Amino acid sequence: MIVKNYVAPSQIHGVGLFAGENIEKDQIIFVLTPGVDVVMTSEDIETFGGEFSRFMSVYSYKDIKSSEITISLDNARFMNHHNYPNTLWTYIFGWAARDIRKGEELTCDYNSFWEDPPVVDKK
């Protein structure tokens, strides 16, 4: 994440990611960054055992196009799904779909990048 943010209780699910500053429409909020965002294969994950696999099933996602599994080591992993999200995503970038106020929960559509999201309705 390249904007100020914080994790707090969410009305959507458990905890979520919130804007720590006002964000303008089309402003870049995320850039896939090696070292902060770790990309692995299913085989890589399996070598670390069952508990790590469980952790990854909660906090990582499998990319639609590459089938690579990515986990963000920053707060990006706490972003919740919304059918009408306030952010948009490609594999490398995330940006504001509209103006977002400081304190507003940042949301994304898991279906736009996640091969098989576990907690959302299929489109």
14 φ/ψ sector (left φ>0, alpha ψ -120 to 50, else beta): left
In this structure, what token pair is assigned to residue 82? 């919304």
Residues 20, 89 contacting (CB under 8 angstroms)? no
CA 112 – CA 19 distance, rounded (Å): 21
CATH superfamily of domain region 5-112? SET domain (2.170.270.10)
- pLDDT tens digits, 18-66: 999 999 999 999 999 999 999 999 999 999 999 999 999 888 888 888 8
User: Is residue 123 very low, low, confident or very high in pLDDT (cuts 50, 70, 90)?
Assistant: very low
Alpha helices in the chain (DSSP H): 42-46, 50-59
Domain ranges of the chain: 5-112
Q: Which helix H or strand E contains 88, and what residues bound it?
A: strand 87-89
pLDDT of 120 higher than 70: no
Residues 57, 118 contacting (CB under 8 angstroms)? yes
| pLDDT, mean over the chain | 90
Give φ, ψ of 85 to 5 degrees: -70, 160
